Amino acid sequence: MADNLTRLTVYLTPATNTALTHAAHTTLDSQTDTLNRAVQLYDQLATAVDEGARIVIHWPDRTVDVPLATGVPPYPSTDAEFAALPVLDLAAFRAERARVAAEFGVRPDQVTLRGCGEPRGEEWA
């Protein structure tokens, strides 16, 4: 079975790391199994969206359409690609994250701003 496995190094934001830890703890799966399931689910959702589907989450008190952008450049996979991301100033980063969180009814720490980089050298979470 080891011949069918791919070893991968990823950069997790603090919010993503917290979510991974919580999901693995909640499901009693390993972090590896949790990531494998998440990637498979993301692939299914992206395919559905590409085919015209909408992703909707229903809570008892609200319903939210979940945007899933496809065709967006991938996250960086090397240190050099990560370092080359544009850096937002901290105030702009926090303001945009708060705006997106309010729009979708989630906490700001649950928002990942894709493709804009993250403030570096400062506490941003």
pTM to 2 decimals?
0.49
Residue 24 is part of which domain span?
11-71
Per-residue pLDDT tens for 46-66? Answer: 888 777 787 888 888 888 777
Proportion of the chain above pLDDT 90, given as a percent:
17
Q: What pLDDT sits at residue 75?
A: 52
Is residue 38 domain-shared with residue 65, that is, in the same domain?
yes
What is the average per-residue pLDDT within 106-123? 60
The answer to whether residue 85 is domain-embedded is yes
Residue 98 has pLDDT above 60, yes or no: yes
Per-residue pLDDT tens for 14-38? Answer: 888 888 999 999 999 999 999 999 9
Give strand pairing partners of 65.
56
Is residue 100 domain-shared with residue 52, that is, in the same domain?
no
Quickly count helices (H) and strands (E) in the chain.
4, 2
Q: Does the CA dihedral 85-124-69-9 come out positive or negative?
A: positive
10 φψ region: left (φ > 0), alpha (ψ -120 to 50), beta (else) = beta
Alpha carbon distance 80, 101 (integer Å)? 29
Give strand pairing partners of 69.
none
